[in-house]
């Protein structure tokens, strides 16, 4: 007897599911492989004629990182296929039997995407403050008297360090003339 949707006998479906469940770490291998290929492709197609000033140029680090990702993906896949398994984390103060908190994850994703959209029109200091405050709120802090001030201070310090001290230009937005 076969199932209507797959055409595979139920016994084989169960075996396939259990094999995939036992080798679920192969998903991490696939992710590392894709990331390695993307990094290498981007690095090798990079136009660096103007920026190249010596034997080590802007391509060097991305090529090393991409190659490392590919090597790690291959080694992990070999280990998993030979029977290696990751150890389950015991967790210090987490109850692993509880499901993940989807609300927190969605709030953090929304705050992150919102700050990515707002960084150009509002500038980093404002978008960063909203990011830090939103992340604190999503993670459970409800101190509306303290959190916005800490977020604004942290955002301004980050802006000054990156923009002025490290020379990494960040969009200042309406505050460009003030800072």
- Are 111 and 138 within 8 A, CB to CB? yes
How many Cα atoms sit within 13 Å of 12 on the Cβ side? 7
Work out the pLDDT band at 24, boundaries 50, 70, 90.
confident
pLDDT for 88 beyond 70: no
pLDDT for 4 beyond 60: no
| Cα–Cα distance, 12 to 3 (Å, whole number) | 11
123 CB burial (10 A radius; 0-12, 13-18, 19+): buried
What tens digit of pLDDT does each residue of 114-144 get?
Answer: 999 999 999 999 999 999 999 999 999 989 8
Average pLDDT of the residues of the chain: 83
pLDDT for 75 beyond 90: yes
**How confident is the model at residue 90, as a pLDDT?**
62
């Amino acid at each position: 007897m076969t199932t209507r949707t797959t055409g595979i006998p139920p016994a084989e479906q169960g075996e396939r599911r259990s094999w995939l469940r036992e080798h679920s770490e192969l998903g991490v291998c696939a992710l590392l492989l894709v990331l390695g290929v993307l990094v290498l492709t981007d690095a090798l197609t990079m136009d660096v004629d103007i920026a190249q000033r010596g034997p080590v140029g802007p391509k060097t680090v991305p090529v090393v990182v991409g190659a490392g990702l590919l090597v790690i993906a291959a080694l992990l896949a070999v280990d998993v296929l030979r029977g290696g398994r990751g150890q389950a984390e015991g967790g210090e103060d987490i109850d692993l039997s509880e499901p993940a908190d989807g609300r927190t994850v969605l709030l953090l994703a929304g705050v992150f995407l919102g700050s990515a959209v707002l960084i150009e029109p509002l500038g980093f200091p404002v978008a960063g403050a909203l990011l830090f405050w939103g992340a604190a709120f999503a993670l459970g802090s409800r101190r509306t008297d303290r959190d916005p001030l800490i977020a604004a201070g942290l955002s301004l310090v980050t802006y000054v360090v990156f923009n002025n001290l490290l020379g990494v230009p960040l969009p200042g937005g309406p505050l460009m003339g003030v800072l």
